[in-house]
Amino acid sequence: MSRYRLWFWGCFVLFFAGLAVASQLALALVAEADEVGPSMTQLGQLSIEQLENVEITSVAKRPQPLSQAAAAVFVITAEDIRRSGATSLPEVLRLAPNLEVARINAFTYTISARGFNSPESSNKLLVLIDGRSVYSPLGGTIFWQGIDVPLADIERIEVISGPGGTLYGANAVNGVVNIITKSSAGTQGLLASMGAGSEDSGMYVRYGGALQGFATYRAYVKAFHRDDTDPVSALDMTQDSFSGAQAGFRLDGGVGRETFTVQGDLFGNRVKDSYEKLWGGDMLARWGHAFDDGSSLSVQAYWDKSDRDAVLLQDRLQTYDLQAQHTFSLGASQQIVWGGEFRVWREALFSQSPFHFLNPSATLTLGNAFAQDDIALSENLKLTVGTKAEYNSYSGLDVLPNVRVAWEPRKDTLFWAAISRAVRTPSRIDRELIAPGILIAAPHFGSEQLTAFEAGYRGEILSKVSLSVSGYYNDYNDLRSDQYAVPDIFPVQLQNHLNAKTYGVEVWGTYSPADWWRLRAGFNSFQRSLSLDPQATDLTETQTAGQDPPYQAQLRSEMNFGSDWELDLDLRNVAHVKTPALVSFVPQIYRTVAVTPSYTEADARVGWRFASGLELSLDGINLLHSRHLEFNDPSSYPPRSIQRSVFVTLKAAL
Amino acid sequence: MLRRWRTGIVIFAAITAFSAFTPAMSAGVALDREIKGTFLYKFAPFVTWPDSAFAAPNAPLVICILGDPGLADSLQGAIAGQHDGNRPLVIRAVSRASADCQVLYVPGQDASSAAAAMAAAKGRPVLTVTDLPVDAAGHGVICFVIDQGHVRFDIDNAAAAENGLTLSSKLLGLARVVITKGALP
């Protein structure tokens, strides 16, 4: 029992006491009004545009039909997040059957789509929070320990597996995670939640209000603590317990045909004993204009600061980004979107280890222009063609085209296919990292290239069954390899001599046996073959290829008992991860050793709405085993086991 | 570290106490119903009724809700004392279509009762609103739809013209789909 836990239980008692007083006062104030009265009075303060933005979080509502996108898209809704019992963003992403999510320790994760998953190699996934990219130019990865979004504020997360280069730019190679938060019009009033359990505790308070007929706002504070995970090795003495706090706001408004959003956040997170410390903030402004002819223009600017102190290194990053896009119709059958973006990354990395940058500071710039046309060839056949030209100050110009076809022979049945090109641009580590006698800089390291072929089906087979199936064949060239600059003599240099072909299938579906019961299932398989250019070697033995299970499966059951009780069960299986086989001189025995054993885990949640606006839930996470390992790569982080845990949450909406 | 938590608790307690004095939103499952109810009077400034629709220049604007007295009650509470221009807003719970309504909302998916009400209102200066899709029989001038977790609406502008109503371009711009004459099945 740490002192933090004591504080949290203290908070819990305070929370109940405060709530009791508050609800009495509130009841006295609204006693004469009908039960829904206060709500409708507040709704009445919203403008008609704001009303359209209010999100409905109705339990009875079925998930919305997916957009008619010709891509493998899985949408995580606000309701899915609420019912998942997840306490962090990466845990929420486990809901997407088209992602690989592996928890490394108490504070971080490695997440990828369609392979290449490891802290070193998961550099082909783009993550956007309300249009703000959190992709790090340092190593091309995502530092999940420095990314937090209040889960109750998320409207939906669109998880696209497959390339999204044409619309999202470079590094959207294997997928895009697009996190969209609710308009503040949909988060009016007070929401408070408090949770504590065997491994985690957290609290969250949000208040939203309206500025009469003009704008709405919300502000929040949150804090969390996660306990240590279990070391796998007896020699691992590190403690990785993780805590942090974050605060932020969002303002949305509109006058006539203009709409605007301004939002910002501040955070500070810390791993025990300052093993890793992260802090920073962001500010984003977006302006939209709707023209009389139905076309629309949006302009967005953001600033993001993300600093990190780890053992022997200090990383300072600031991002400035400006982008604009214009959407319009051409004739009756064409919908065109075009736009451009300019970004500046200013980074400084100070290292006290032999691995360092000759010049700690760098300014990277990026600029792009894109256009995409959706053409209705006939009533049920749609062709999408688009391309983006993107320039970056490291490797110059990349062209990222795609062609997509969607055929909807009848309502709720969509077949689609796509061919796209995407690139992963060089990171600072690829180009600049040096270590005397070991590694020399690679000023000519170029972009990693992908040509992707995909096809899929999405539809409702019977009235109660919906299904999505997608398959892909990815052809990668110029992936990162390590080789001697001069044959057989150190130092080595990073070069682009590894090639890969990957293929796989992603399937998910839902089935509702009854009004009160829904079943969901997801599965993905992944295969690959690797090859090197003639005369090339890869000394790190396919570290670039990542650690990917050949398949993953998940099953979820969501039950409602009356309008007050919910029972959710989740079962998932992740196959064992083997060392990728590449170089023939590695003995067979090492190639087939499981790096991470397969595991099966289950979660359960009971939710109870015991009074209007009050919800209590009990979560059991990783119930099947006292501990399990999800990721094992001692070169990046000491391997840690994730424990079973239970968690109680009280949520109040007033 | 300890200080950070303590600060969190103080903020938390302050907001909890503050909330007691704030009329706030209930997180009920009927939020879509409440939003639709609110839309009913928010439409009014964007609709022009013919003079024949009202007995006097300052006669009230009557919003009728068919078969949902609970919603009518809540809405009455929410709009107490409000006006559309110089017309006071009045909410009326009705059990069948009445000629005295300027707005008639028929909630629910029952096409036959909606069709009966639409037939009664047809050609009269009534803004009819339904939950039925704009391509279904018995749909109103304005048709609520749940789209991506939001309450949106489609507009049958031909039906509006038939009832002698003029909808502003702003309202048409806010609609998800606008059907004009000839597009009806």
Largest Cα span, chain A: 86
Could you tell me which of A298, A266, A262, A260 has the C-alpha nearest to residue A279? A266
Q: Residue A102 maps to which CATH number?
A: 2.40.170.20
- Put simply, the answer to whether A25 touches B24 (Cβ < 8 Å) is no
- Put simply, the answer to whether A40 touches B31 (Cβ < 8 Å) is no
pLDDT tens for A268-314 read 999 997 789 999 999 999 998 878 777 889 999 999 999 999 888 99
At A193 the pLDDT is 95
State phi, psi for A220 to the nearest 5 degrees. -145, 160
Which uninterrupted H or E stretch holds A326? strand A313-330
B37 touches chain A (CB under 8 A): yes
| Residues in chain B within 8 Å Cβ distance of A154 | none
Euclidean distance between the first and final Cα of chain A, in Å?
Answer: 32
CATH of region B28-179, choose from 3.40.50.880, 3.30.2350.10, 3.30.980.10, 3.40.50.2300:
3.40.50.2300
- Domain boundary assignment for chain B: 28-179
CA distance A60 to A151: 21
Q: Are residues A28 and A143 in the same domain?
A: no
In three-state form (DSSP H/G/I as H, E/B as E, the rest C), the secondary structure along A338-379 is EEEEEEEEEEEEEECCCCEECCCEEEEEEEEEEEEEEEEEEC
Q: Are residues A20 and A65 in the same domain?
A: no
Decide if A9 contacts A2 (C-beta within 8 A): no
Could you tell me which of B39, B41, B33 has the C-alpha nearest to residue B174? B39
B80 touches chain A (CB under 8 A): no
B181 touches chain A (CB under 8 A): no
Which chain A residue has the Cα nearest residue B144?
A52
- In the structure encoding, which two tokens stand for residue A415, read together? 């077949």
Residue A189's alpha-carbon distances to A43, A262, A416, A651, in angstroms, are 11, 19, 42, 13
| Residues in chain B within 8 Å Cβ distance of A270 | 1
Q: What's the full length of chain B, in residues?
A: 185
At A437 the pLDDT is 87
In three-state form (DSSP H/G/I as H, E/B as E, the rest C), the secondary structure along A522-556 is EEEEEEEEEEECCCCCCCCCCHHHCCCCCEEEEEE
At position A46, the amino acid (one-letter code) is L
Q: Are residues A376 and A322 in the same domain?
A: yes
| Residues in chain B within 8 Å Cβ distance of A64 | 146-149
At A29 the pLDDT is 38
Q: Are residues A113 and A7 in the same domain?
A: no
CA distance B155 to B143: 6
Decide if A172 contacts A163 (C-beta within 8 A): yes
| Residues in chain B within 8 Å Cβ distance of A22 | 16-17, 19-20
Q: Are residues A103 and A51 in the same domain?
A: yes
Q: Are residues A18 and A147 in the same domain?
A: no
Quote the strand ranges of A148-275, DSSP E: 154-161, 175-181, 189-197, 200-211, 215-226, 230-231, 242-255, 258-271
Which comes out higher in pLDDT, residue A391 or B10?
Answer: A391
- In the structure encoding, which two tokens stand for residue B151, read together? 């309450």
Decide if B105 contacts B92 (C-beta within 8 A): no
Burial of A185 (0-12, 13-18, 19+ CB in 10 A): buried
| Residues in chain B within 8 Å Cβ distance of A292 | 169, 173
Out of A59, A61, A654, the one facing B24 most closely (by C-beta) is A654
- Put simply, the answer to whether B42 touches A18 (Cβ < 8 Å) is no
**CA of B127, closest CA in chain A: separation in Å?**
17
State what percent of residues in chain A have pLDDT above 90.
Answer: 57
CA distance A188 to B11: 18
pLDDT band at A22; cut points 50, 70, 90: very low
At B18 the pLDDT is 36
- In the structure encoding, which two tokens stand for residue A533, read together? 């250019």
Decide if A578 contacts A594 (C-beta within 8 A): yes
Domain containing residue A268 = 33-653
- Find how far residue B176's CA is from the centre of its chain: 15
Q: Are residues A18 and A72 in the same domain?
A: no
B55 touches chain A (CB under 8 A): no
CA distance A620 to A607: 12
Cis peptide before A436 (omega within 30 of 0): no
At A580 the pLDDT is 56
- Put simply, the answer to whether B26 touches A613 (Cβ < 8 Å) is yes
Place of tokens 């990162």: A480
B50 touches chain A (CB under 8 A): no
Quote the strand ranges of chain B, DSSP E: 47-48, 61-66, 83-84, 87-94, 103-106, 127-130, 142-147, 150-156, 166-167, 178-179
Q: Are residues A7 and A129 in the same domain?
A: no
Which comes out higher in pLDDT, residue A408 or B4?
Answer: A408
CB atoms inside a 10 Å sphere around CB A34: 17
| Residues in chain B within 8 Å Cβ distance of A46 | 38
Considering just the CA atoms, what is the radius of gyration of chain A in Å?
25
- Put simply, the answer to whether B35 touches A190 (Cβ < 8 Å) is no
At position A34, the amino acid (one-letter code) is D
pLDDT tens for A186-238 read 788 899 999 999 999 999 999 998 887 678 899 999 999 999 999 988 888 88
pLDDT tens for B10-55 read 444 444 333 333 333 333 336 778 889 999 999 999 999 998 888 8
- Cβ neighbours of residue A107 under 8 Å, at least 6 residues apart? A145, A226, A240, A242, A269, A271, A276
At A145 the pLDDT is 94
| Residues in chain A within 8 Å Cβ distance of B176 | none
pLDDT band at A10; cut points 50, 70, 90: low
CA distance B11 to A467: 46
Q: Are residues A410 and A444 in the same domain?
A: yes
- In the structure encoding, which two tokens stand for residue A601, read together? 């885990």
State phi, psi for A111 to the nearest 5 degrees. -135, 135
| Residues in chain B within 8 Å Cβ distance of A78 | 149
Could you tell me which of A375, A480, A517, A389 has the C-alpha nearest to residue A62? A517
Out of A41, A55, A192, the one facing B16 most closely (by C-beta) is A192
At A109 the pLDDT is 95
Which comes out higher in pLDDT, residue A491 or A68?
Answer: A491
pLDDT tens for A123-168 read 999 999 999 999 999 988 899 999 999 999 998 898 999 998 888 8
Euclidean distance between the first and final Cα of chain B, in Å?
Answer: 67
Which chain B residue has the Cα nearest residue A56?
B149
Q: How many domains does chain A have?
A: 2
B183 touches chain A (CB under 8 A): no
Average pLDDT value for residue range A324-328: 90
Q: Are residues A19 and A138 in the same domain?
A: no
Q: Are residues A368 and A452 in the same domain?
A: yes
Please give the mean pLDDT across all residues of chain A: 86
State the Cα angle at A72 between A66 and A76, rounded to 5°. Answer: 55
Q: Are residues A8 and A102 in the same domain?
A: no
CA distance A592 to A577: 9
Out of A14, A42, A49, the one facing B13 most closely (by C-beta) is A14
Which comes out higher in pLDDT, residue A511 or A212?
Answer: A511
Q: Count A/B contacts: CB-CB distance under 8 Å.
A: 194
Burial of A587 (0-12, 13-18, 19+ CB in 10 A): exposed
